[in-house]
Amino acid sequence: MSRFDRFAAKKCRNHVIEHVLNRFHGIIGNSQPITVRELCMSSENTGSRSNDTDSLQQHSIDLLAELIAFDTTSVNSNLQLIEFVRDYLQQRGVSSRLTYDETGKKANLWATIGPDSAGGVVLSGHTDVVPVEGQAWSSDPFTLVTRENKLYGRGTADMKGFVACALAHTDYFREQSLQVPVHFAFSYDEEVGCIGVGGLIKDVMDNLPLPRAVIVGEPTSMKIIGGNKGGRSFKTVVTGIDGHSSLPQLGANAILAANRIINKLVDVQERLIAAAPPDNGFSPPYTSLDLGLINGGTASNIIPARCEFSWGFRGLPDEDMDAIENEIRDFIDSEVLPGLQAISTATSIVTHLRSDVPPLKPDEHSAAEQLVRHLSRLNSSSRVSYGTEAGLFQQAGIAGVIFGPGDIEQAHLPDEFISIGQMHECCDFMATLGTWAAEPSVVT
Ligand SMILES: [Zn+2]
């Protein structure tokens, strides 16, 4: 018995499904109740699935090995991986749309299985990975290695595992005669501030029928994440005047100026902690400061002429990030820069915006969360403090939820892995999604 048949049979035995499906009705906009009989008839009519569960699971792992082998660290081009995916889909009769960055060396891929209509479900994953430099790996990070039911390699959890599971079900989705389209959205440059996916979303908004929901397959251990913090990051460069450290009155110390700005960031952080609403589901439950990189000076006895540091805030969904940014910029302009300028007009403080990722605002009643709750049988969701592409889709009017295989605790670390069990769970989810998307009575 194929997984599809087992799935259908299980549903036919379980009349609770009527209740679940009808609970979902309102989201899809159907006025007719769904019966188990309709669902079973639909399953019988589409029981021509050629691959069984085991082969689909193995295929997803084989595909993961292929995807891992492309070194798509964000500084590199991702085109070889994208072309591999495009060819894979082309061989199965699915065409792709690519949107490129300005250099032409990176691309997003969008593909649709099913009808050319609005209201589809997007399976979204980023193709880039974080660097392996300076990390102690037990094996080549770009060769998939299996040890004790774990698949090791850079990007296994974050997030080529999800991409592999989705891709592996291309034939399966096609065989289901989907009534609700399933889209693949594979992006570049997520790890450096969700920069790439904007071009893909714009292309969809401008040229294609709008999807209804997006599932962003970041590693959540197949639990539902309904909201994430936004984030805004900056690099500030302080330019002072150098000189001998015995004559500080003749120079403009860039490190001391930077220090005043950093103290201001700490003051703002303390105020935000005090003002944060407790028990909001986020950990930590406040808008938090990032200060991860600083570089300044050339020698201990030279007044430093340059200091630069990278900083930012990860904001609660309701946080006014413009207000925080403006407060810091105003402080620099009114409290720090005049002291440097009094020494020399050649001094400056320049703050560059590096990334601006909107939050995913929690909405338990959104089409995305209700769909994933229905398909996964989970009845709760939680929040995370890291940024994802889901907020960008939500901004574009496409409801989003984060739901994928693997554990975020393995992401970005040496010996990153995904368990084979998580890959199997994700494959089961893909099959359930396909079955649902083929059920005509749910979408008319
Ligand atoms: Zn990720």
List C-alpha distances in Å: 209 to 112, 120, 322, 371, 391.
11, 9, 32, 19, 20
- pLDDT given at position 413: 94
Lowest-confidence segment of 5-14, 81-90, 151-160, 215-224 by average pLDDT: 5-14
Domains in the chain and their CATH numbers? 3-227+359-443 (3.40.630.10), 236-351 (3.30.70.360)
Question: What are 109's two structure tokens?
Answer: 């891929």
Average of per-residue pLDDT across 300-305? 97
Average pLDDT (11-24) is 41
283 exposed, middle or buried (CB, 10 Å; 0-12, 13-18, 19+)?
exposed
Give the whole-number percent of the chain exceeding pLDDT 70. 87
Longest dimension (CA), the chain: 88
Rounded alpha-carbon distances, angstroms, from residue 9 to 13, 104, 372: 6, 49, 21
For residue 296, which amino acid is it?
G
Annotated catalytic residues are: 128, 190
CA 198 – ligand 1 centroid, Å: 16
Q: What is the per-residue pLDDT for 51?
A: 52
pLDDT > 80? residue 428: yes
pLDDT tens digits along 101-121: 999 999 999 999 999 999 999
Span from the CA of 218 to the centroid of ligand 1 (angstroms): 5
What is the 273 CA–ligand 1 centroid distance (Å)? 27
Between CA 194 and CA 268 the distance in angstroms is: 25
pLDDT of residue 439: 86
pLDDT at 394 over 90: yes
Give the Å distance between the CA of 189 and the centre of ligand 1.
10
Could you give the C-alpha distances from 276 to 82, 263, 280, 312, 320, in angstroms and in order?
42, 20, 9, 17, 12
DSSP state of 335: I
Rounded mean pLDDT of the chain? 89
Whether 387 contacts 313, CB under 8 Å: no
- CB-CB contact of 315 with 359 (8 Å): yes
Mean pLDDT of 397-408: 97
Cα of 160 vs centre of ligand 1, distance in Å, is: 9
pLDDT at residue 389 in the model:
97
Q: Which helix or strand (DSSP H or E) is residue 423 part of?
A: helix 420-437
pTM to 2 decimal places:
0.83
Average pLDDT over residues 345-357: 96
| C-alpha 267 to ligand 1 mean position (Å) | 31
**pLDDT confidence of residue 442:** 53
Whether the pLDDT of residue 285 is over 70: the answer is yes
Look at phi and psi of residue 356 and say left if phi exceeds 0, alpha if psi is from -120 to 50, else beta. Answer: beta
Give dist(CA 392, CA 398) in Å, integer.
9
